[in-house]
Chain A
């Protein structure tokens, strides 16, 4: 086995074990930190797939943004002194049945299909192609995305601000 294959297995196992930590940890704070390991491992998967820009976007947006937001929400919403901070979960057995059924079907689909593979090109930087794609073929979704982000910004502020009308009226 070459070094790349060994590294791939190491990162894949790291990713899946961290995801299992997210799924099975009784404490939601530990889940949030395990999610960081998963997101880093997924970024490593992107590097193995020669997707340099996506890997950097994953680290910047997911770990720098979403994970910090989640940690803030976790710390703001559980009362450390009084409550049990463990998140109780229900229906483990039905959930395991559903999940294993879905997993078996999808695994069968993965290994029974004859995937049509393209030509194996050497790895190259993908930023140029992504940039021209964003301002060429995908310019409409790209502009729509900026509008969605503006709406989200306004919406998140509108939801979480203090309601002043009740105090006045």
Chain B
């Protein structure tokens, strides 16, 4: 298809996944970790849609990608509400400072 192969898209997805994993592993800021999770979800979505496009005429991959986008929105809403709650109690969003269940 126009000289762009499946491997091109998979490589973009791989690079996004690797950078997202690095973000999750190195950040101590809770919001930074959530951004890394978003990068990983986006890389999985690229793979879904790419396989749907190159594997035939099915749109199942696109439907799965839309479900992933919906769940990412839900995860971000609840995650950021929790982060704001942590900030209220601990006065910090450093994940190493939050070492007790009850403040």
Choose among A20, A51, A72, A118 the residue with the greatest number of B CB atoms under 10 Å from its CB.
A51
CB neighbors of A among B2-23 (8 A): 2-4, 6-12, 14-23
CA distance A4 to B54 in the complex (A): 17
| Main SS class of interface, A | helix
> Which chain B residue has the least Cβ–Cβ distance from A157?
B81
Q: How many A-B residue pairs have CB under 8 A?
A: 217
Note all chain B residues with C-beta closer than 8 A to A48. 4, 9
Interface size on B, residues (CB 8 A): 69
Which residues 116-131 of A have a CB within 8 angstroms of B? 116-121, 126, 129-130
10 tightest CB-CB pairs across the interface, nearest first? A118-B56, A87-B29, A89-B26, A95-B25, A129-B59, A152-B74, A156-B81, A159-B81, A160-B81, A19-B19
Report the minimum CB–CB distance from B94 to chain A (whole Å).
8
Q: Collect the chain A residues with CB atoms within 8 Å of residue B70's CB.
A: 61, 145, 148-149
Q: A: which residues have CB within 8 A of B? A: 1-2, 4-5, 8, 12, 15-16, 19-20, 22-23, 28, 31-32, 35, 38-39, 42, 45-46, 48-51, 53-54, 57-58, 61-62, 65-66, 69-70, 72-74, 76-78, 87-92, 94-96, 98-100, 102-103, 106-107, 110-111, 115-121, 126, 129-130, 133-134, 138, 141, 145, 148-149, 152-153, 155-156, 159-160
Q: Which residues of B contact A99 (CB under 8 A)?
A: 18, 21-22, 25
- CB of A66 within 8 A of CB of B82, answer no
Known: A5-B2, A23-B22, A87-B28. A31 touches B35 (CB 8 A): yes
CB-based contact A51/B53 at 8 Å: yes
Residues of A within 8 A of B23 (CB): 22-23
Decide if A54 touches B49 in the complex (CB within 8 Å): yes
A67 → chain B closest CB, angstroms: 9
Q: Which residues of B contact A (CB under 8 A)?
A: 1-4, 6-12, 14-23, 25-29, 31-32, 34-36, 38-39, 42, 45-46, 49-50, 52-57, 59-60, 62-63, 65-67, 69-74, 76-78, 80-85, 87, 93-94
